[in-house]
Amino acid sequence: MRASLGLTVLAALTPLAALAQGGPYTEQQAAAGRSSYVANCAGCHMPDLHGSNEARPLAGADFMRNWSGRTTQDLVAFMSAAMPPAPAAPGSLGGQTYLNLAAFLLQANGAKPGTAALAATTSVAIGSVANGEMPAGFKEALAPAAAGGAGRTGLTLPGHIEGFKPVTDADLRAPAAADWLMIRGGYRAWNYSELDQITRDNVAGLTLQWVWSLTDGGWNEPAPIVRGGVLYVDNQGNVIQALNAATGELLWENRVGPNVANTALRGLAIYEDKVFVATSDARLVALDARTGQTVWETTIGDRTEGEFWGQSGPIVIKGKVVQGLGNCTRYRKEKCFISAYDAKDGHELWRFRTVATGNERGADTWGDVKDYYRAGGDTWITGTYDPDLDTTYWGVAQAKPWMPASRGNSSLDRALYTSSTLALDPSTGALKWYFQHAPGESLDLDEVYERVLVDVGGEKALFTIGKPGILWKLDRTTGKYIAHHETVFQNVWDKIDPETGQPHYRADIVAMKKGEWIDACPSTEGGHNWQAMTYHVPTRRLIIPLSQSCISMRALTVEQVEGGGGAGADRRFYEMPGTDGNIGKLAAYDTATLKELWAVQQRAPFLTAVLSTRGGLAFVGDLDRELKAVDVATGKILWRTRLATSVQGFPITFSAGGRQYLAVPTGVGGGSPRQVPSLIAPEIHHPSTGNALYVFALPDKK
């Protein structure tokens, strides 16, 4: 069920139907529903049913708050009409499957089975049979099924890569153009390559060289890396593979586990003779780059209160593997943090907590919310690093629940260090400075995304853009605000201080109350999301993938109970005014003036990072399965091809045997950047499978 149960459907309470002895479903139905849940729903609503951002919790207080006053008939009808969302067809699972799923959800919320099967005509008030309390052992029994019966298979194909040259600190500071050593290409997150074999004049001759199928399911947004003609890629289900970058031949494979295709894995890191991966369950694993053997493994954070995620790929800085965390939506004692580990053996060196509590600096910015009930502050996008200033920069996501009325504070309470840029000392984790882009963030419009480091004239600038679609320019030495530019229509902030850059919410957002709808542009799809921008060095411009949609949002009651929390909001989406239905926008901006230089607008949203090259090209892919090459000078589309499913992830370019290649992933799954367009542009169709890596090059002249 890759959407949120109970977003927009309201139903009246119907009388309790006469029941057979026991509950309104059978044990056999619930067992079948569990299998269907694992296959169709766990990827978004999570194996433990606690949900993830857009996908609401399906067990506990949040579920009961939405469904206790409705009936089993309402639940089955809603799932049949809405689940799963595009690209699959709602209702496609079949009538009996929806009944089984409803039985499973009832069981997960404490309803007992009976002797009569749940039927489409059964109309029982859910609150009369369920209490939101999972039966003892229920979650533990579900975990093995969600893992497909397999946890960590380990090395499935050992390798021996001849001639591998260890990656040094000097290599990471100044990567060879033939390699692609980290997510976004380098420490400064330019997504730019000096390779120029493929140009404006010959890009029309690009041809497909090879395709490698990646494991299906989940949210496929990989960021491959290349060293010495070997391409390393992470798959859903925590499968890491090494491929011959020129031919696509598999060299080694390690299924580090768990074998669960759910959250996105964005990137690998490489240093000395090791490849580093942050798994979906937030373990940090070091693999031998030559053989694929596991060298060491570290669990990030505590597991007694639930699982974190490792959505961001790591970055290696002077022998330290620095990693962020995701899945910080639940109430728990341990908060989200950024941490560093020794590349040699994996032992923890430091951590910086992104949610201030106790006597920490910033702890007084959460209003009356007690420490335990402060959530959010995820760092699910990999940070950047300036070797000259010896500073690493990280974006921090919003506070949870999304809206202050649900959190129990106000948009005037800043809730540090959420929705901020953090500048940290990579040796100690000490905070050098912070800039909060969205104090008291109130509409799931966070600022967690890439920090791009560019010298502009005499300024050491940092550029970033988040969901509000505001391009920020900061001094990366001090954190001082320099300038900003609104890249898409926004009406969330009614003013931004021209001296300090501090934004001010509209009055109705400040005065929000639970149960009241608030309209806002952009939507939680984000004016900008995880699809990273590029800095094109020769023209000194940023090229940014943007999205244009709006939202109505209302805060729900989120009980402050142990293990509670979550997003806590209902949402409805609609087209952004003045866009003629064009959700996707690709635009170029001058780094000195922030002036928009050109823009390409289209119905389908862009779902890849943008890659630019010395050849004067920018490559980008979209939901409608198209990969495009764009002239960085004019925005003119010079080449396009259509792939098997939506083009999604981080394109890269590299050289092997003197020949330049372009590699681009395709994939399915994901959050708002996919789900919102599926609601407001349902005519865009693509298969529900097709995770793969496509590699292109110009014809070989040999």
Question: In which band, very low, low, confident or very high, does the pLDDT at 483 lie, cut at 50, 70 and 90?
Answer: very high
Residue 536's pLDDT is 98
| pLDDT given at position 515 | 95
- What is Dmax (Cα atoms) for the chain? 79
pLDDT at 3: 40
Distance CA(151)–CA(71), nearest Å, equals 37
What is the pLDDT at residue 19? 40
Strands 692-697 and 250-255, sheet pairing: unpaired
Pair type for strands 315-317 and 320-323 = antiparallel
pLDDT band, very low/low/confident/very high, at 310 (cuts 50, 70, 90): confident
In the chain, the percentage of residues whose pLDDT exceeds 70 is: 93
What was the pLDDT predicted at 43? 66
Instruction: Provide the pLDDT confidence category of residue 355 given band limits of 50, 70 and 90.
Output: very high
- Pairwise CA distance, residues 217 & 667, whole Å: 9
Task: Mention every residue, 6+ apart, whose C-beta is less than 8 A from residue 270.
Answer: 167, 181, 182, 225, 227, 232, 276, 289, 316
Q: What is the pLDDT of residue 230?
A: 98
- The per-residue pLDDT for 329 is 92
Answer yes or no: is pLDDT of 633 > 70.
yes
Q: How far apart are CA 692 and CA 643, in angstroms?
A: 10
Q: Which residues contact 442 (CB under 8 A, 6 or more apart)?
A: 402, 403, 404, 411, 505, 509, 512
Structure tokens at 345: 């053996």
- pLDDT at position 99, please? 87
33: three-class secondary structure by DSSP? helix
pLDDT band at 646; cut points 50, 70, 90: very high
Neighbours of 231 (CB within 10 A): 25
Mean pLDDT for 36-59 is 75
pLDDT tens for residues 423-469? Answer: 999 999 999 999 999 999 999 999 999 999 999 999 999 999 999 99
Q: Is the pLDDT of residue 2 over 60?
A: no
Q: How far is CA 12 from CA 15, 16, 43, 394, 584, in A?
A: 10, 12, 30, 46, 38
Q: Using 50, 70 and 90 to split pLDDT, how confident is the model at 309?
A: confident
Residues paired with 626 in a beta bridge: 642
| Site of tokens 């965390």 | 325
Contacts of 213 (CB under 8 A, 6+ apart): 691, 692
Do residues 76 and 352 make contact, with C-beta atoms less than 8 angstroms apart?
Answer: no
Half-sphere exposure of residue 508: CA atoms within 13 angstroms, side-chain side: 11
Give 319 or 260, the one with higher predicted confidence. 319
Q: What is the pLDDT of residues 132-168, one digit of tens each?
A: 888 887 776 665 444 443 467 899 999 999 999 999 9
**pLDDT at 85 (0 to 100):** 63
The rounded percent of the chain whose pLDDT value lies above 90 is 74
Backbone dihedral region for residue 490 (phi beyond 0: left; psi -120 to 50: alpha; all else: beta): beta
- 668 versus 16: which is more confidently predicted? 668
* H/E stretch holding 274: strand 274-278
For residue 14, pLDDT over 60 is answered with no
Q: How far apart are CA 329 and CA 240, in angstroms?
A: 27
- Asked whether the beta carbons of 146 and 261 are under 8 A apart, the reply is no
Give the helix/strand (H/E) hosting 139: helix 138-146
Q: Rounded to an integer, what is the distance from CA 530 to the centroid of its chain? A: 6
Instruction: Say how many Å lie between the first and final Cα of the chain, rounded.
Output: 51
577, two tokens: 């005014």
**Given CA atoms 455, 457, 460, 461 in this order, what sign does their dihedral have?**
negative
Q: How far is CA 163 from the centre of its chain?
A: 35
Structure tokens at 41: 């729903």
- Interhelix angle for 72-82 vs 95-108, to 10°? 130
Q: Is the pLDDT of residue 661 over 90?
A: yes
User: How does the average pLDDT of the chain come out, rounded?
Assistant: 91
Give 35's pLDDT tier (boundaries 50, 70, 90).
confident
pLDDT in tens, 394-419: 999 999 999 999 999 999 999 999 99
**Which residues, including other chains, have CB under 8 Å from residue 15's CB and lie 6 or more apart?**
123, 125
pLDDT interval class at 16 (50, 70, 90): very low
> Rounded mean pLDDT of 652-666?
98
pLDDT for residue 78: 86
* Mean pLDDT across 675-693: 93
- Tokens 């244009």 appear where? 548
Whether residue 13 has pLDDT greater than 70: no
CB 281 within 8 A of CB 309: yes
132-141, 318-327, 568-577 — which is least confidently predicted?
132-141
Name every residue whose Cβ is closer than 8 Å to that of residue 176 and which is 6 or more positions away in sequence.
none
With a cut of 90, say whether residue 611 has pLDDT above it. Answer: yes
**Pick from 273, 244, 310: which is nearest to 165 by CA?**
273
CA distances, 330 to each of 42, 147, 634, 669 (Å):
17, 22, 46, 22
